[in-house]
Structure 1
Amino acid sequence: MAGKEVPLWARERSKGQEVAQSVGGFILGLAVATVYGLLGLLVQGHSPWTCLVGTLSLAIFLGLGMGFSRSVRISVLLLLPQAFSRQGRTLLLIAAFGLVMQGPCANIIRNFSRASDSVACGAELALNQSAEVLQRARQPLISALKKIKALAGKAKEVADRIRKFFRSIMDGVKHVVRALRNVWYWLLHIGDVCNSELGSPYGKCAKIFDDAKDRCMKAVPQFYHLCYILMPFKLLLCGLATVTQLFCVIPRYLQPFLRTTIGTPVIQLINRVRKEFEFNVTSSHHFKVNLNSSRSLSQVAFDLREAVNLRLHPIRETLALLGHTTPLLLIFLYIQALFYRYYYLTQDNFDNIYITNRFMRMDARRIQAGLPSVLPLSLRECTRYIRPGSLYLSRMERMHYTLATFTLIRHLLLVLLLVVLDYAIFWLLDLARYWLQGEIVTRNPVLVSVTVQGTGYVGQIYRDLVSVFDILQKGNITILSRRCLLRTSEPNYKSYILIGLMYGLCFFVTLFGSYVGRMSRVICASYYPSREQERISFLYNNLLTRRSNLAISLVGAVRRRAADQGHANILLVLAAKWPRLIPLINLLGIHQTYCLGCGRPQNEHEMQDFVPCSTPGCRGLFCRTCFRLLNNTCSVCAAPLTPQGDLDLELDSSDDEHPRLWLASAKTLSKEKQKRLKKKLKTVLGKDRFRKLSLLSNLDRTCSSSNGTGSSCNKQQENEDGVSGDQAEDKKENEDEPKSFPQPTSTQSPVHITISPFPPLPQK
């Protein structure tokens, strides 16, 4: 472009610059991965293997991606501004709150768990001590029973000895009794024996004579009267046999007398002596304890611990999940960067509220062309549209800033409450631990002593019983023991410092997030200059449409004569008036092309009045007025708009810039167009001049590819540069002050500039 240098973003990058850029991206990716690994290892306390795997994976992706991929490089560069956005600030607050959950909240849960364990231990200890107290209360009875059992054992030994003594006596008595019984049995059975042996003497005698008479009568039946001669002898002899019958009759009369007088008293005496040495020792005790409870104390302690663990399980799972928020944060920020890049390339109204230097140059160009301008902005527009480096915030930025401030204050109050609660719980439990760290032992305040005098066996028994109660009085019972002492968890004060730093970072992001977030547009504009120029044209026409009346804008759009008054599409006009229609416009995919020089919209009836850039891939489109003001030079890629644009114009003898520029741009054309262009240049310039300009064009390309480091390139630039030092300084001042509108220049005045071959257009 005449009178101006090639923009920095439009210059061709050498191989060395590309290699340096790739190496720098590779090193930056490794540095980011290293910082991520150190953050997870030192701050979040992850395992070394987890940090190693995550760091290596991230290093491979970031290192290779930023080193060799342009899209990955721009996405990673957009991560920092996205971290200062509303979503990034929210994720930072989540990460900071995750530290709060892992620090104070986890410590609160830990103290509650230890308190519940202490209570459960106390319940079990109370159960054991209650059993011990009951055992000691039963001890006197048990000891008395033992003594009674010992006494019974001693008595049994004495009884056994007495039993042996009386058994000997009883054996002797039994021997005498057995002898008497034998005599008794003899006397008792002597009659029977006598009768069985002797029978009845008279009866036997009479039977003999009767049998003799019967045999006689059978022998001499004729003389049976002779057989009665034996009868007198029967009476005489059998009468004498009655004298021996007295020996069998006397024992029968002696038996009742002996049974009544001797047998019964002797038996009664023996039984009475036996009863005197028979005794029974019986001991009865009753011990009954009733506990009015459905569960034992051990079950209650176990249920208490299980209930506490069940309630704390979701919180512990949440704490474990919040410990891995850093990868999610990076992934979400990377996705946000991709979305920002996508919306920047597809939606014209996305984050398009900045009055940049290009916007001001477009306004100055419109003033040169005699078209309506939008600068200076109105008071209402100043609240919506701002300069990128301005300290003032737009209306939406102020709203987001206010909401973010209130959100941060709410989070700070919640975190402060949790920190105070953590320390308060620790302080209370530690105070309880301090006052309960001793042991409480119960002792009997009054000792009662009982003295038993006597040296007998019974006195010894009573002394043993009394000694048992003395042991019960002198025994001590431990009510509170150190075994169940509460062991509190002290807060980690380093985590407090880390939480403070995280919320300090959140405060910094809240305070300067709006300013740092503007860097996203700067990064995208540096990588996509043609897209930035289209967005500026859209913004310019949007401002023009907003300033005009709605009815006039609609009528002008219908008549297709509103090119200088804003949008030429009815829906775009309505969307400019009512921003709520913007999603509908994006959904319908309505897009309008504009002149990248002045922002003039292109309609169907003016297709021939717009000149596109001849460079392949360049999206430059200019109206006839800007084509004339730009001297046939594309402001996007610094290449000629059309090689045939000004071939019919008169060329000054010293005007070598345009032909050299055309020759440089001819390399991107087809072979047929190159031949046609060179043929016309030979006709207009002549063979010698054409050959000279061709050599200079090749030299320009060589110098550009070698980054201009050769001495011949420097010498050639010094000889051919027609701009003095003062003019360069003026040119620099003009670029630094875009508000000073350039004056229209005459196309006939010769201007000498060094035109290097245009660089390749950065790809999307």
Structure 2
Amino acid sequence: RSAGGFVLGIALASLYGALVLLAQGHNVWYCLVTTASLGAGLGLGMAFSAKVRVTVLLSLPHIFTKEGKMLLLLLALGMAVQGPCTNILQNFSRAAESLSCGAELALNQTAERLQRAREPLLTVLAKIKDIAQKAKVVGDHVRKFFRSIMDSVSHVARALRNVWLWLANVGKVCNQELGTPYRRCLRLFSEAKDNCERAVPFLFFLCYIIITFKPLCGLANCAWVPAPLHTARPLVIPAALRAALDRVRREFEFNISAVHHFDISLNASKSLGEVALDIMEGVRLRLEPTRRVLGLFTHISFFAILYMYIQALRYRYRYLRDDTFDNVYITRRFVELDLRRAEQGKPTVLPLSGWESGRYIPPAAPWLSQQERRRYGLQLVGVLRHVLLGLSIVLADYSLFWLLDLIRHQLQGEIIARAPAVMGVSVNGTGYISEIFRDLVSAFDTLQQGNVSVLSQRCLLQPAEPDYSTYLSMGILYGICLFIAIFGSHVARLRRVVCAAYYPRREQVR
């Protein structure tokens, strides 16, 4: 039983909880559950089990090995993706929103300018339409007047024609009803003869004297009777009068056409802001799988501890069973044993040869063994490469924020463009035309009075400030990785010290 082991286990679990909660920003309940589980396992295990104590103590130096360094680098990369990279995308989104807001503002003001530019023309068209309506009313009245005159003249002409036809055909009617003068003359002589025979039947032969006068009736066919109505012509021909009135009527028929072509298309299925947001959403969706995969590295802290524990068990297992495993150190007990053999006159190992001194070293020697030197350069270059990558991400994040914040600072004001001088035009006079010109001039006054917002606070850029605590955590992790690359080999030698302290007999055998 060990109270110190229990305290150390609780301290390590608390350190893990602080790292997960403060550095990685995980959920409080996740931190609470994992920290409590880890604290219970480490505290009770180190308090009541020597095997757990030695394994945990072996896990601590194992952090400074190549595997621990890679886990820390992955953790730093995950923090870079969750922090600076996310902030970069957010700043790009805000910049796109600000630009789209400015573009929409410019588009709306352009549409307003176009509408104001159309107002004078629309006013003129309205006046022309008013004139046309009034002229149409006058023309309609004149056409109705002449139509009435033409209808009246046509009615009188029809009446005169009917009278004229009646006068022209009255003789024919009389001849049809009473007979012609020749036949009436013959009928009169015939009736006179018949009356004479009835009057003096005994002298009927005298009545035939009347028949001798019948040839005189032929004079009725040759007689000329003046007929002024038959030869007279009307003073004015109705068709000519109708044609003249129709020509006058057509003088009041007119068309007023005003052709106005002013086409501009400002319609779109989506606004500029929606287009910009769709583009940024597409970029975010494409980067989302990569961001999620890299974001998983922020959740491997618990599994990293488990991996370190397994590596410690593996080291302990090989230490207890393999005499050549990590056995390159000239310890103090080895030197005492070599001196004792020298006093006894037996063969000794020390001093080492040049090749052996590069392979076997004292545990506290500041120089590295041949195997450690072989790994030293590669690890240092790998760490520097990751540090350069993380530093580039941090610089990109902060540079973008600094640039956008500088733009925001410079564009804090509001600029409104107004007309430098307003021109006034007055129209004097009375009459309809003067009213038209006055309305036209007032429309141009409206055009001059418009303002244009060059810079508006509604579209002011608000960049997202970087999370400096993430920068600090990444710096600490990269600093630890650099320390591991430089001094990790020296710290890793403590694993042998721990095993030697807990297994002195095995150390003597090795």
Shorter chain as denominator, the TM-score bin is 0.7 to 0.9
Tell me what 1:40 maps to.
20
Distance 1:373 1:272, change over 3 A: same
The offset of 1:46, in angstroms, is 1.4
User: Would you say 1:171 and 2:148 are equivalent positions?
Assistant: yes
Structure 2 CA distance for aligned equivalents of residues 92 and 38 of structure 1: 16
The offset of 1:83, in angstroms, is 0.4
SS in structure 2 at match of 1:78: helix
Tell me what 1:515 maps to.
490
Distance 1:194 1:505, change over 3 A: farther
AA at the equivalent of 1:353? V
What are the within-5 Å matches in structure 2 for residues 653-692 of structure 1? none
Structure 1 CA distance for aligned equivalents of residues 174 and 181 of structure 2: 11
Whether the aligned pair in 2 keeps the contact of 1:442 and 1:477 (CA below 8 Å) is yes
Whether the aligned pair in 1 keeps the contact of 2:154 and 2:242 (CA below 8 Å) is no
AA at the equivalent of 2:123? S
The offset of 1:283, in angstroms, is 0.7
Distance 1:178 1:378, change over 3 A: same
AA at the equivalent of 1:87? E
SS in structure 2 at match of 1:287: coil
Tell me what 1:384 maps to.
359
Tell me what 1:149 maps to.
129
Tell me what 1:278 maps to.
253
Whether the aligned pair in 2 keeps the contact of 1:147 and 1:461 (CA below 8 Å) is yes
Distance 1:480 1:319, change over 3 A: farther
Whether the aligned pair in 1 keeps the contact of 2:81 and 2:291 (CA below 8 Å) is no
Structure 1 CA distance for aligned equivalents of residues 368 and 492 of structure 2: 12
Whether the aligned pair in 2 keeps the contact of 1:440 and 1:481 (CA below 8 Å) is yes
SS in structure 2 at match of 1:374: coil
- Over the aligned positions, Cα root-mean-square deviation in angstroms equals 4.3
Tell me what 1:186 maps to.
163
Whether the aligned pair in 2 keeps the contact of 1:367 and 1:373 (CA below 8 Å) is yes
Tell me what 1:395 maps to.
370
What are the within-5 Å matches in structure 2 for residues 419-568 of structure 1? 419-528=394-503, 531-534=506-509, 536=510
Whether the aligned pair in 2 keeps the contact of 1:205 and 1:234 (CA below 8 Å) is no
User: Would you say 1:375 and 2:350 are equivalent positions?
Assistant: yes
Structure 2 CA distance for aligned equivalents of residues 310 and 499 of structure 1: 26
Tell me what 2:115 maps to.
135
Unmatched 5+ stretches in structure 2? 191-207
Whether the aligned pair in 1 keeps the contact of 2:79 and 2:295 (CA below 8 Å) is no
Tell me what 1:690 maps to.
none
Whether the aligned pair in 2 keeps the contact of 1:109 and 1:312 (CA below 8 Å) is no
The offset of 1:417, in angstroms, is 4.2
Percent identity of paired positions between Structure 1 and Structure 2: 47
Write out per-residue CA displacement over residues 230-257 of structure 1, whole angstroms, 9 at most, x where no aligned residue.
99999888987999x989x877655xx3
SS in structure 1 at match of 2:453: strand
Tell me what 1:321 maps to.
296
The offset of 1:80, in angstroms, is 0.5
Whether the aligned pair in 1 keeps the contact of 2:154 and 2:238 (CA below 8 Å) is no
Tell me what 2:57 maps to.
77
Structure 2 CA distance for aligned equivalents of residues 439 and 369 of structure 1: 97
The offset of 1:524, in angstroms, is 3.2
Whether the aligned pair in 2 keeps the contact of 1:188 and 1:251 (CA below 8 Å) is no
What are the within-5 Å matches in structure 2 for residues 709-728 of structure 1? none
Q: 2:94 pairs with 109, 114, 125, which one?
A: 114
Distance 1:185 1:374, change over 3 A: same
Tell me what 2:194 maps to.
none
SS in structure 2 at match of 1:354: coil
The offset of 1:82, in angstroms, is 0.6
SS in structure 2 at match of 1:383: helix
Structure 1 CA distance for aligned equivalents of residues 77 and 505 of structure 2: 42
Write out per-residue CA displacement over residues 646-668 of structure 1, whole angstroms, 9 at most, x where no aligned residue.
xxxxxxxxxxxxxxxxxxxxxxx
Whether the aligned pair in 1 keeps the contact of 2:338 and 2:349 (CA below 8 Å) is yes
Whether the aligned pair in 1 keeps the contact of 2:146 and 2:249 (CA below 8 Å) is no
Whether the aligned pair in 2 keeps the contact of 1:120 and 1:304 (CA below 8 Å) is no
The offset of 1:464, in angstroms, is 0.6
AA at the equivalent of 1:125? L
Whether the aligned pair in 1 keeps the contact of 2:132 and 2:256 (CA below 8 Å) is yes
Tell me what 1:679 maps to.
none
- Taking structure 1 as the reference length, the TM-score comes to 0.54
AA at the equivalent of 2:331? T
The offset of 1:460, in angstroms, is 0.5
AA at the equivalent of 1:429? L
The offset of 1:43, in angstroms, is 1.8
SS in structure 1 at match of 2:416: strand
> How many residue pairs align between the two structures?
487
Q: 1:98 pairs with 78, 81, 90, which one?
A: 78
Write out per-residue CA displacement over residues 658-712 of structure 1, whole angstroms, 9 at most, x where no aligned residue.
xxxxxxxxxxxxxxxxxxxxxxxxxxxxxxxxxxxxxxxxxxxxxxxxxxxxxxx
The offset of 1:487, in angstroms, is 1.7
My pick for the range that moved more, 54-63 or 118-127, is 54-63
Whether the aligned pair in 2 keeps the contact of 1:341 and 1:524 (CA below 8 Å) is yes
The offset of 1:27, in angstroms, is 5.6
Distance 1:409 1:251, change over 3 A: same
Distance 1:507 1:455, change over 3 A: same
Tell me what 1:719 maps to.
none
Write out per-residue CA displacement over residues 150-198 of structure 1, whole angstroms, 9 at most, x where no aligned residue.
33334344445x44xx635753663464244223233235656875786
Whether the aligned pair in 1 keeps the contact of 2:93 and 2:277 (CA below 8 Å) is no
AA at the equivalent of 1:52? L
Write out per-residue CA displacement over residues 348-368 of structure 1, whole angstroms, 9 at most, x where no aligned residue.
322111233554565567668
What are the within-5 Å matches in structure 2 for residues 498-647 of structure 1? 498-528=473-503, 531-534=506-509, 536=510
Whether the aligned pair in 1 keeps the contact of 2:341 and 2:348 (CA below 8 Å) is yes
Structure 2 CA distance for aligned equivalents of residues 146 and 174 of structure 1: 37
Structure 2 CA distance for aligned equivalents of residues 533 and 231 of structure 1: 197
AA at the equivalent of 1:491? P
Distance 1:298 1:25, change over 3 A: closer
Structure 1 CA distance for aligned equivalents of residues 111 and 253 of structure 2: 42
Whether the aligned pair in 2 keeps the contact of 1:116 and 1:304 (CA below 8 Å) is no
- Taking structure 2 as the reference length, the TM-score comes to 0.77
Distance 1:76 1:233, change over 3 A: farther
What are the within-5 Å matches in structure 2 for residues 683-702 of structure 1? none
Structure 1 CA distance for aligned equivalents of residues 22 and 170 of structure 2: 125
Structure 1 CA distance for aligned equivalents of residues 462 and 400 of structure 2: 13
Q: 1:89 pairs with 69, 76, 79, which one?
A: 69
Structure 2 CA distance for aligned equivalents of residues 231 and 440 of structure 1: 131
Whether the aligned pair in 1 keeps the contact of 2:59 and 2:308 (CA below 8 Å) is yes
Distance 1:38 1:302, change over 3 A: closer
Which one has more relative contact order, counting CA pairs under 8 Å at least 6 apart?
A: 2
Whether the aligned pair in 2 keeps the contact of 1:75 and 1:338 (CA below 8 Å) is yes
AA at the equivalent of 1:51? C
AA at the equivalent of 2:299? H
Structure 1 CA distance for aligned equivalents of residues 211 and 27 of structure 2: 146
Distance 1:464 1:373, change over 3 A: same
Whether the aligned pair in 2 keeps the contact of 1:443 and 1:475 (CA below 8 Å) is yes
The offset of 1:399, in angstroms, is 4.3
Tell me what 1:623 maps to.
none
Structure 2 CA distance for aligned equivalents of residues 484 and 274 of structure 1: 65
